[in-house]
Amino acid sequence: MGATSDGDRPWESYQTVYTNAKAGMDGVDKEKVQRVIYEMSKGSKYFENEQRKEAIVKQRIERMRAQCAKLTAKDIAQFQMIADKRILELESSRDLSKIWVHSDMDAFYAAVETLENPSLKGKPLAVGGKSMICTANYEARKFGVRAAMPGFIALKLCPNLVFVPTNFDKYMNYSEKTRKVFRGYDPNFIATSLDEAYLNITTICKDRCVSSQEVAEELRNAIYEETGLTCSVGVAPNRLLAKVCSDINKPNGQFILPNERKAILTFISSLPIRKIGGIGKVTEHILRDVLGINTCQEMLKKSAYLCGLFSPCSIDFFLSVGLGVGNTDTQFRLRKSISSERTFSSTEDQSLIFKKMEEIAETLSNDMQKESLFGRTLTLKLKTTSFEVKTRATSLQKYIQSKEDIFSHATKLLKAELPLSVRLIGLRMSHFCVGTPHSADPMQKTLSGFIFSGGASSSADTNADSLIDSEICFSDDVNDLPLGYDHPEQVDEKHLTHCTGERNEATDDRSVAKVCFIYIYSFYIEMPISSCTQSLMEGMDLMNEEDKSADNRALLSRTQEEVVLWINDYMCSLCGCELPPSFVEERQEHSDYHLAEMLQKESMDNFGKPTQGSNPVQKSPCVGRSARKRRNKSAHNDGKHIPIDCFFERSKKVRRP
């Protein structure tokens, strides 16, 4: 933020969500808006919180710069090879056969209010209240007023601003009308919020021999006929680009990006990264300040560095953005979590806080029942009076769904935080099993999980809560969004957040793990152990340090999941098995398998017995449930399988006779 370091114009570097332009704000006097927002927020709790978050991001930027500076020419060459390979793969996955439409209603809540009360027409309008507004019409946007801005600031920017309170029943009613129209164009359309949807119009264009331009126009007219409201649409070969396109000619407009590679690359070449759903303020800041990336195309120019700094998921996302490739299938991403939250006036009244939480648990449970979901990771989100967002998570021994179970576990999390003055409570469930919870014990530990959670000495503590401080996560943009808000910037969280559970005390077993990881790593990069990168050794050494900062945890996470086996981002070099980065659990399992194999080998060798199944190529670990079953079966049959806790007992005997 640099509020004090910018001399007499400190507002120039005060960037909040309010200063980011939305559609209809192109002609706004940005400096004036920034100054008003700065002056009105200065000294407030919100301001202090923004400063705190900004300081964290700055620290992260510094660390990432240092990480970059440490990369040798050889490192960069290696990362470039990895990046080039991945770019080729992504390029070959480019699908130009589909036509996607993204439809987005114009100033939705405000337009509904105006439709029902025509006297509001032409006046600058905000839906919401003095504390927060949900949206503003295009007249108000000319003054810099926008969604998520406190109403009192909006009023300062636009003294004639008219406020209308929200009425969700109305918005849902109009949303349902738009969905009726969408169904006529694509019965499998994907609604991502009340006013946004993706439609695959490939078939309709083909069957009716009409252009996507004509269908887009027709769709917009049909929406208007049905609702009396206008929308804007974007047409592109994939959803990522269609969403960007729908914003270009807002309001009441459309933009068509042809299904041609050249046109896409031209479009992408100058597109600012912030236009992409999934790239929020923090990500933009980091990519710009660490790597000098401003446009989507620059992702490709800096691909080696991206590979050196980010997780496989993030790298894939960034490179896809650089190429303009995106999802084209109708199946939308699987739900990863479900949540509910409430904002209220700040309170420290504990009985009120628990009452709110009970209501939230009930809503969450009902929503889970509707989707037949059972989850085993529960996250509590609290926004304090000073706008600090805390999240606390626990992994449970069984899958839960009932209000009582959710409330009981949430209560334990909450009690540990009280007393506290809060203004928002949210609950999120994740790690699902759909339908009846299966018999598999969700708490059965993975090998690396076992090692990193404290080894054999803590193996009984399978219910240890993991603490996650969201404010130290990579993306803080998401902290300002409701837990369940289906906003594209949630992708930020998905792609960029590296949170791991807090470590328990280091044990001697960690040294076993450390040796094994380094062994695998050296094998992997075909280098002697002594030549393993310093950063890896440092990452491992963090296990023995007191410092439990998020970055250290993040580094551990990276070390475990990315460096050890997946440095080339898709293929296991130990056995050649190929697994895309999105197969997170399968990768973990695969990694565990090799690690177990090595530990067992070491154990056998130390016992002076012949090593069995030590050739990973011959005994390639398969992935997936059936493979797991097969593996378990053979392990039982041949008696080679050593339960992990027993293994550590044996390992200890070897090391400390």
Phi, psi dihedral angles at 204 (to 5 degrees): -65, -40
Task: Please say which residue, 108 or 267, places its beta carbon nearer to Mg ion.
Answer: 108
**Least distance between ligand DCP and beta carbon 522 (Å):** 49
Task: Please say which residue, 105 or 293, places its beta carbon nearer to Mg ion.
Answer: 105
Residue 398: CB atoms within 10 A of its CB come to: 11
**Least distance between Mg ion and beta carbon 17 (Å):** 16
Closest CA to 152 of 129, 121, 136, 174: 129
Which option in ligand DCP, Mg ion, none does residue 109 bind, with CB closer than 5 to 8 A by kind?
A: ligand DCP
CA distances from 32 to 13, 50, 54 (A): 13, 20, 22
Answer whether 534's CB lies under 8 Å from 71's CB: no
Assess whether the previous peptide bond of 419 is cis (omega < 30° from 0).
yes
The binding track of 179-198 with respect to Mg ion, each residue x by CB under 5 A or -, is ----------------x---
**Least distance between ligand DCP and beta carbon 250 (Å):** 5
Answer whether 293's CB lies under 8 Å from 286's CB: no
Which of the following is catalytic: 50, 54, 139, 196?
Answer: 196
**Least distance between ligand DCP and beta carbon 151 (Å):** 13
Task: Please say which residue, 38 or 108, places its beta carbon nearer to ligand DCP.
Answer: 108
Closest CA to 635 of 597, 607, 579: 597
- Interface residues with ligand DCP (CB under 6 A) are 22-23, 104-109, 134-135, 147-148, 195, 250-251
Q: Which two tokens stand for residue 457?
A: 């000495």
CB-based burial, 156-177: b 16+ in 10 Å, e otherwise? bbbeebbebebeeeebeebbee
Closest CA to 195 of 165, 162, 223: 223
Task: Please say which residue, 105 or 271, places its beta carbon nearer to Mg ion.
Answer: 105
Is 505 among the catalytic positions?
A: no
Task: Please say which residue, 23 or 574, places its beta carbon nearer to ligand DCP.
Answer: 23
Answer whether 179's CB lies under 8 Å from 194's CB: no
- Strand order of the β-sheet with 162-164 is 133-136, 125-128, 162-164
**Least distance between ligand DCP and beta carbon 101 (Å):** 15
Which option in Mg ion, ligand DCP, none does residue 562 bind, with CB closer than 5 to 8 A by kind?
A: none
Task: Please say which residue, 60 or 487, places its beta carbon nearer to ligand DCP.
Answer: 487
Residues 100-139 that bind Mg ion (CB under 5 A): 104-105, 108
Closest CA to 342 of 327, 367, 317, 361: 361
Strand intervals (E) in 436-492: 466-468
Which option in Mg ion, ligand DCP, none does residue 147 bind, with CB closer than 5 to 8 A by kind?
A: ligand DCP
**Least distance between ligand DCP and beta carbon 195 (Å):** 4
Residues that bind Mg ion (CB under 5 A): 104-105, 108, 195
**Would you name the residues annotated as active-site residues?**
196
